[in-house]
Amino acid sequence: MTLRDDALAVRENAYAPYSDFKVGAALRSASGAVFSGCNVENVAYPEGTCAEAGAIAAMVAAGETEIAELYVVAGSAAPVPPCGGCRQKIAEFAAPATMVTLATLDGTETRLSVGELLPGAFTQSHMDGS
C-alpha cells in the first residue's frame, strides 16, 4: 500500500457529523513504519481534531518521533493545507526538507516541504540561550 492508500482508507473512519468533511492522513516514520489518523469532531469542539495530529499521536504512541514523509487527503475541490496547530506539530517531528503531499479524492496533489508549509517555525533553538 502507498501512503495515499492508507490516508484514503483511514479517511473513511473519520467522525465528522457536524461538517461532513472527512480528512485522512498517513505518515512514514524514519524507521519506515506507517501511521495514520483521521479527523474527529465532537459537539463541544465541532471543528474537531485533525487527521495529521492523529497520525502524529499514533507515531509517538509507538515510540517514534521522526516523520520522513506525510500524505493528507480530503474531499475538497483543491488540496487542503493543515491548520496552524498541525503545521507546528508537523514541524516538531519533521525536518524542514521533509515532503508533505496534500491531495484531493480525484488525485490532485500539491507537494510542499515542511519549511514551505511553515516558514519561520518556532523551534527549540528559539529557547536556547535565554
Q: In degrees rounded to 5, what are phi and psi of residue 9?
A: -65, -45
- Look up 64 and say whether it is catalytic: no
Whether residue 40 is annotated as binding a ligand: the answer is yes
Whether residue 109 is annotated as binding a ligand: the answer is no
Q: What is the second-level CATH architecture of the domain 3-121?
A: 3-Layer(aba) Sandwich (3.40)
45 exposure class (CB count in 10 Å sphere: 0-12, 13-18, 19+):
exposed
Whether residue 42 is annotated as binding a ligand: the answer is yes
Instruction: Point out the catalytic residue in the list 52, 64, 109, 116.
Output: 52
Contacts of 47 (CB under 8 A, 6+ apart): 19, 41
Nearest alpha-carbon partner for 114 in 129, 130, 93: 93
Pairing of strands 94-104, 67-74: parallel
Q: What is the mean pLDDT of each run of 10 residues along the chain (130 residues)?
A: 97 94 97 97 81 96 98 95 91 97 98 92 75
Whether residue 12 is annotated as binding a ligand: the answer is no
Rounded Cα distance, 68 and 86, in Å: 16
pLDDT value for 130: 57
Rounded Cα distance, 103 and 118, in Å: 18
Report which residue type is found at 77. A
